[in-house]
Structure 1
Amino acid sequence: MVSDSAGVRIVVNPDGDFADRSVRWTVSEAPEVAIGDQAGDDAYLFDRIMGIDRLTDGRWVVADMGSSQIRWFDSEGRHLQSAGSRGEGPGEFFQVMGLTRLAGDTLLVDDARTRTHMLDESGEFIGESAVTGSPVGERTDPTGVLRDGTVVAATTSAFPQRLTSPHPMTRSYHRARLARGEGSGFQLEVLDTIGRWDLRVLVPGWNESSQRVRFEEGLQVALLGDGLVVADPMRFEVRTVSVDGELCSISRFEWTPDPVTDADVERKRDEYIHQGGESGSEVSPQLLQQRSEIADSWEISDHMPAFSEVIVDRLDHIWLREYVPNEPTAGSWIQTPLDPVRWLVLSPDGEVVAGVETPARFSPRVIGEDFIAGLHRDEMEVEYVHAYSLTRH
């Protein structure tokens, strides 16, 4: 059902079932491009992939935290060149956190310590800049580019280490101006704010430590063409907002959420307490006891979320990843599910158009008209870039 209220398009989808879809898009069984190896040439060895994109000429670009490098590969996955090394000098990265592709295949590389680097389409460093105009004490990073070339930056509120009462964790999204100066410099300046949202509420836990509510997924925000998608997994609701911050559409689902059961809590508690020690070391009885006390302090959601991730593809379709409680995963920074994953795909205005299943051990990072690419981990947790063909029926 579609209606209009004061210029806001409202869509009520009668069915939010991820499994039973009459229209299904398909992902190829095997990747058409596979980049990476378990041993050999360092250019194909990855350690904490933080960003993947495909450039307009078909090249692939990968941001790797472990090597502090940006690497380029041809359309078939052959290494072309690498840029960067660990450090804090010119042409060096302190810690690669992600990348953003601009017009002309220029790249912004998000570095820790609030630095942003710019590289041109040939991989040459243009310069670096701290983001200016952001609130003091809060970290601001570029998150993407809108269809008209506007750079969007996000500011995340400071994370409290200790709490005595619930505290919202907020994020603001801003329009930013990117200006290349003379020589090797450029400026990324925050201009105005598109919107500010509470992503989740942190609660006091063991020894007044800050913690999240278990079995709760926070608000998800992603860039959509000429605005933003703001999706609420706990309400199964997706909103679109213009670059001026005006609400454009609301997509809701008729949905009966699954309750969180005692068995769900006990399984999560057991996994947390008995997880291995750092670098595979044995866990001491004292640490086991501390983990048990921490688990006793957890606050538990009364129901499960509907989805756990939002991705917007290059055709502005909105992909919602089905939430799986206690889902087995591999990795830390970007986790990969050990089982296949189901997605619902919405049109840019919020109507369900298809269902999709992505392969096991794969986390999508970029979705084009006819491909879906992302991070793959094998049984030994070796990282690869896999790109599959995508058929939109």
Structure 2
Amino acid sequence: MRRGNSRRRHHSGGACSRLLASLERGILILTLPLSSVGCEDGTGNSVNGLRVVVRDSAGVITVDNAAPVPDSRLPWEFGTQPSLSIGAVDSGEADQLFQVTDATRLADGRIVIANSGSNELRVFNADGSHAATGGGRGEGPGEFVSYSPSAVATWPGDSIAAANPWGSRLSLFDADGNHGRDVSLDPAMLDIIDVLPDGKVFTSGSGGGLHGDMTGSSGLVRSNAEWGILDADGTLLASLGEFPGAEFYAIFAADGSLQGGMPHPFGRGTMGAVWGELVAIGVQDSYEIKAFATDGSLVRVVRRDGDLESPAQADLDDYYARRYADLPDEDRISNLNAVRDMPLVESWPAFSEILSDRAGYLWVREYRTAAWTVFDPEGRVQGLVETPPGLHTFEIGEDYLLGWVYDELGVEYVQLWSLSREISS
């Protein structure tokens, strides 16, 4: 789930796009002469390097952007080190994290962590001290099973929403971790993507299962799934249509049943995030993001130029060689044999992730890089930003980034990093 509360407030932005981020002495420093920055004129076209064409067709706004050049870094700066790091080795306390799936920051600075390894919500004060724990393992009200809570977000009224898809519900807690009530979800829409500011839930189904006409053979298959908006009571409010799932290498038996398989390491799928008052959906087959209103209507299409290259067999071989390099010889050979017939996908995914921040900007992570392309609240490309290396991003605020990282021992940490969007002088 992408934290919908992190994208509520829109920011007026500036007249110009601001570009550059370079890594120097552990700091993401963002400086570039403003002569290199693209400012928009009244027609929506960039007059200084970042081309954008905006069209309105029957109420649907289409924004076509040129791809920013690789050194187009926005002048935004992250701290030299995290301002807060929650995590410990063998402490036996709440700060010993295990299988963190998500985290969100509350308005008072407290951080709520979804610690799925213990099926708990753990609340930490702004200074990193433990404040409260909610949830727990079980099937009762407010309890979680099977690697959940899978996500956490704020809910209207300063409450906390925690996703429990295997329990077919969304569990609501107060800011101190006390369980309030559960919201039963539409049984066909259990994959929670995000929560909107008014409590509506952005969600998708699990798809129709893996099947195909490859009886007795193997190959790549994809199953479509419906995406939609659930009302705050968990019922389906609007369908957004069906979108393709991840590409899966499937092996079928002679009777047509699924015998085995695995996700393709370079497989394309569908990504989603709440974007202000809208929801954004991007199919990784192309660089195109569609934004829908909560009534299901399409209101905006954002595209970015760029040719999609195709992986080679050497890329696939190198991936599995690195993945299984540390296994004992017998296990490594067995695993490599299991993927020897893995086919190539048609192209690399167009992007790897989409998020939006509390200033209303959309962040699209480029595939196989640490760079994000940032779009303003209207979908116009602004430039590139690189987040701290090794950090998996959960939430982007107006002046912070919240994410997850692990060290060489596998110890998990949830970290808060400062973010400055000011232009360096």
Structure 2 equivalent of residue 381 of structure 1: 410
Q: How many residues align?
A: 358
CA displacement at 1:201 relative to structure 2? 4.4
Q: Separation in 1 of the partners of 2:333 and 2:84?
A: 47
In 2, the alpha carbon distance for the partners of 1:310 and 1:119 equals: 27
Letter in 2 for 1:13: N
Sort the Cα spacing of 1:235 and 1:154 in 2 relative to 1 into closer, same or farther, 3 A: closer
Cα contact 1:46–1:383 (8 A) shared by 2? yes
Alpha-carbon distance between aligned partners in 2 of 1:2 and 1:168, rounded to the nearest angstrom = 33
Mapped contact 2:68–2:383 kept (Cα < 8 A): no
Does 2:243 match 1:197? yes
* Per-residue deviation, residues 182-209 of structure 1 (Å, max 9, x unmatched): xxxxxx3233323331234445347653
- Listed one character per residue, the Cα deviations across residues 60-118 of structure 1 (whole Å, up to 9, x for unaligned) are 11110112211111112111111232222344322322223211221222223324322
Whole-Å separation in 1 of the counterparts to 2:387 and 2:266: 23
8 Å CA contact 2:207–2:225 kept in 1: the answer is yes
Q: Deviations over 1:198-256 (max 9, x none)?
A: 23444534765344444233121211122221223332222222222222222222213
TM-score by length of 2: 0.76
Query: CA-atom RMSD, angstroms?
Result: 2.6
Distance across 2 between alignment mates of 1:123 and 1:302: 46
Tell me if 1:104 matches 2:157: yes
Give the Cα separation in 1 of the matches to 2:87 and 2:185: 33
Match of 1:153 among 181, 185, 203: 203
CA contact (8 A) 1:238 1:350 kept: no
- d(CA) in 1 for partners of 2:295 and 2:398? 28
The answer to whether the Cα contact below 8 Å between 2:360 and 2:376 also exists between their aligned partners in 1 is: yes
Match of 1:131 in 2: 185
Match of 1:3 in 2: 54
C-alpha change, 1:167 and 1:217, in structure 2 (3 Å) is closer
How does 1:49-68 map onto structure 2 within 5 Å?
A: 49-68=100-119
Quick one: which of 188, 206, 222 aligns to 1:168?
Answer: 222
Opposite residue 229 of structure 2, the aligned amino acid is: R
CA distance in structure 1 between the aligned counterparts of 2:385 and 2:247, rounded to whole angstroms:
31
Equivalent AA in structure 1 for residue 398 of structure 2: E
Q: Determine if contact 2:372/2:385 at 8 Å carries over to the other structure.
A: yes
Alignment of 1:231-270 (within 5 A): 231-270=282-321
2:355 corresponds to which of 281, 296, 311: 311
**Judging changes above 3 Å, is the alpha-carbon distance between structure 1 residues 35 and 163 closer, same or farther for their aligned structure 2 residues?**
farther
Q: Unpaired runs of 5+ in structure 1?
A: 180-187, 277-281, 326-340
TM-score (structure 1 length as normaliser) = 0.82
| Residues 156 and 198 in structure 2, CA contact (< 8 A), matched pair in contact too | no
Matching residue's letter, 2:119: S
CA 1:191–1:249: 2 relative to 1, 3 Å: closer
Asked whether the 8 Å contact 1:258–1:304 carries over to 2, the reply is yes
For residues 138-172 of structure 1, what are the alpha-carbon distances to aligned partners after superposition, in whole Å with 9 as ceiling and x for unaligned?
x5144322234423333221543897376432332
1:230, 1:238 within 8 Å by CA — same for their partners in 2? yes
Match of 2:174 in 1: 120
Q: Secondary structure at the match of 1:160?
A: coil
Paired with 1:222 and 1:236, the residues of 2 have a C-alpha distance of 15
Q: Is the 8 A contact 1:214 1:301 kept in 2?
A: no
What SS does the corresponding residue of 1:209 show, helix, strand or coil? strand
CA contact (8 A) 2:173 2:180 kept: yes
Paired amino acid for 2:62: I
2:124 touches 2:131 (CA, 8 Å); kept in 1? yes
Q: Secondary structure at the match of 2:314?
A: helix
Gaps in structure 2 of 5+ consecutive residues: 1-51, 254-258
Which letter maps to 1:101? T
Is the 2:103–2:111 contact (alpha carbons within 8 Å) kept by the matching residues of 1? yes
Which amino acid in structure 2 is aligned with residue 116 of structure 1? Answer: L
